[in-house]
Amino acid sequence: MKVMPKTALISVSDKSGIVEFARGLKKHDVKIISTGGTAKLLAESGIDIIEIGDFTGFPEMLDGRVKTLHPKVHGGILNIRDNEAHQATMQEHGLENIDMVVVNLYPFEATVAKGADHEEVVENIDIGGPSMIRSAAKNHKFVTIVVDNGDFDRVLTEMDNGGTELETRIDLARKAYSHTGVYDSIIAGYFNRKLGVKFPEEIAIPARKKQPMRYGENPHQESAFYVKPLVNEASVATGRQLHGKELSFNNIVDIQATLELIKEFRQPAVAIIKHTNPCGCAVGETLSEAYDKALECDPVSAFGGIVGVNREVDRELADKLSNIFLEVVLAPSFSEDALEVLQAKKNIRLIELGDITGGRDNELDIKNVTGGILLQDRDLHEIEDIRKLDIPTDRKPTKEEYEALNFAWIVAKHVKSNAIIYTKADRTIGVGAGQMSRVDSSKIAASKAKTDLKGAAMASDAFFPFRDSVDEAAERGITAIISPGGSIRDEEVITAANEHGIAMVFTGVRHFKH
């Protein structure tokens, strides 16, 4: 069923394209009712409009808080055109139809983003706009609701062909409810943050589609990438792709894992990630030096991986990166000559992150389960001073061992459980990830090592349930271990460490990563 609108109500915060759209409506002799700044812009553009106050018979009042909340507006939108009782009421009260509503909402999100005070933020909570949107969307059988300026051409094209189609009006109504839902969820999130409510009674998670994906984790799975509003932290959502083919679902997941690891370091650092686990991580005086150390850990697994760095990529590093097949390189920035080298490789994706040294957003980690979601704090725990942790063994770590243990513990947080990591003070040597038993992770990490483990440090993301992993480490020459502690067999584990002359540090904090 086509509907040719005869009267439209236009009230928009984002005015891009609105003058051209209004002119398109006028080609079809549509009467335009408008409000505030929109009315002023249209009138100044030579478009004949009716001010909302003239239409309702009431002026805009209370500093603009009340202008469209009126029966003439909502009656005009909501009446069912083929309902005799509705039409009798319309005639009795002198109401007229409004067949199109063009509304987008006060810039609440932008107001929060610029750091406005609470009073200004509250004044940018739209009331009349969502009410009109919901009314028009509900009555989509007869009314066309437009909340996205990108739909202007679509609507005008259909009007040129006799009127908007029912299927289109249903689709626009769907978009309208999504629009108000996201808007309200951003407002709710603002109040939750202001009041320190971490886990509210009800939650809606706002996000906007950034791009469709070719597929998900596997080709038979459909996928799309959504980004959250008000992101203030360097992220895959805010990064800028400078080169290469479109990111895949798995690329984005791996970029997230890479970025979270390199954010941990203040020295020049390089992380090489494969399937969300680090196959090499190191720090150095330069990125080039750090990259050599990181690559040495597991050069086979690095093939087809993702490299993340926390400094600008220069020509020296770019030359080295170009010698191996990599899916993605992400960095705060790239020098011009580095880009020249890397852009010669057709398919490598280059992601510019901007400053990654800022604070972390106070957002929750979300995990999906069938029929629900799990929310938790992000694992942002850091050791303030490793020398102040519990040391249950007879031998204390040396200065060099403390440095290696600290590095190992940072990396352990970013390895899938069960996680075992062998390190020196500035690099990983072997990584064992995601095994069902901890001792198997210990053996795999040792088998990955390309250099002698003698004198290396070991990190375990959770406590040792048995002494077998300590015995395995001792056989490999490990001299210092860091783990949470807390097992009912801690005494057995400590005894094993003492027998082998291993220094052990208990953090009291676990880093499971499922």
Catalytic residue annotation: 138, 275
φ/ψ (deg, to 5) at 142: -120, -15
Nearest one of 418, 499, 397, 507 to 465, comparing CA atoms: 418
Q: Where are the alpha helices (DSSP H) in 307-436?
A: 315-321, 336-342, 399-412
d(CA 37, CA 512): 54
Q: Which long-range contacts (CB under 8 A, 24 or more apart) does 314-318 make?
A: 314/287, 314/288, 314/338, 315/341, 316/286, 316/288, 317/287, 317/288, 317/291, 318/342
Distance CA 347, CA 418 (A): 34
C-beta separation of 281 from 270 below 8 A: yes
Residue 22 token pair: 């209004």
Structure tokens, 145 = 């609701």
Secondary structure of residue 71 in the 3-state scheme: helix
Which of these, 483, 456, 451, lies nearest to 469 by C-alpha position? Answer: 483
Instruction: Identify the CA nearest to 474 among candidates 497, 451, 508.
Output: 497
**Cα 287 to Cα 267: distance, rounded to the nearest angstrom:** 9
Residue 418 preceded by cis peptide, ω within 30: yes
Neighbours of 375 (CB within 10 A): 14
Strand arrangement of the beta sheet that strand 503-506 belongs to: 428-432, 420-423, 457-460, 480-483, 503-506
Nearest of 430, 433, 458, 460 to residue 446 by alpha carbon: 430
283 backbone φψ class: left, alpha, beta (φ>0; ψ -120 to 50) = beta
Residues 340-368 as b or e (16 or more Cβ within 10 Å = b): ebbbebeebbbbbbeebeeeeeebbeeee
Q: CA 41 to CA 23: how far, in whole Å?
A: 12
CA dihedral 421, 425, 426, 428 (to 10 degrees): -20
**Closest C-alpha among 251, 243, 246 to residue 273:** 251
36: three-class secondary structure by DSSP: helix
